[in-house]
Amino acid sequence: MSQVSAEADPTKDRKVRGLGPSLKGRALRLLSQREHSRQELERKLKVFEEHAGELAQALDFLQAKGFINEQRVVESLVNRRSSKLGASRVRQELQSKGLPAQAIAEAVQDLRSTELERAREVWRKKFGTPPSDIAARAKQIRFLVSRGFAPEVVKRVVAGAQDE
């Protein structure tokens, strides 16, 4: 039975000798999958930086060329997540990506105007019928709150379901 040593592993060998994709190449591969903020790319690519300042230089180049765009990141996340999540959860995800506070505030403000309709749709897909007892009502409320919908919106959705 032969053991493969860490030295024989070609992927580790490439990392050590710097023969893997460049930082720009890695960043472009990530950006081809979905929009990433600069902070996300820094966090993901930091382990591959061989010389101090190399990552910042690569990201500056990509940002200058328009590959990294914070506004596109905001729009992409809002489009992907707003149909399932409330404004609070979307805000939390935007903040975790290190996006500018002004862009986050504008996106959340737009989401607040449609929160009731979106919460009703999420509730309809998950439950579809009014709660039959207090336990079912509590379950529906917990579900919508965990999705980031505002408590007053959740109350209206669940109370409106009982009126139907």
Note the pLDDT of residue 18: 55
Note the pLDDT of residue 10: 45
Confidence of residue 13 (pLDDT cuts 50, 70, 90): very low
pLDDT single digits (tens) 56-107: 999 999 999 999 999 999 999 999 999 999 999 999 999 999 999 999 999 9
pLDDT single digits (tens) 22-38: 999 999 999 999 999 99
* Chain-centre distance for alpha carbon 65: 23
Average pLDDT, the chain: 88
pTM of the model: 0.77
Note the pLDDT of residue 45: 94
Residue 123 has pLDDT above 70, yes or no: yes
Q: Which CATH number fits domain 115-163: 3.40.1350, 1.10.3470, 3.10.290, 1.10.10?
A: 1.10.10
Domain boundaries, the chain: 1-68, 69-113, 115-163
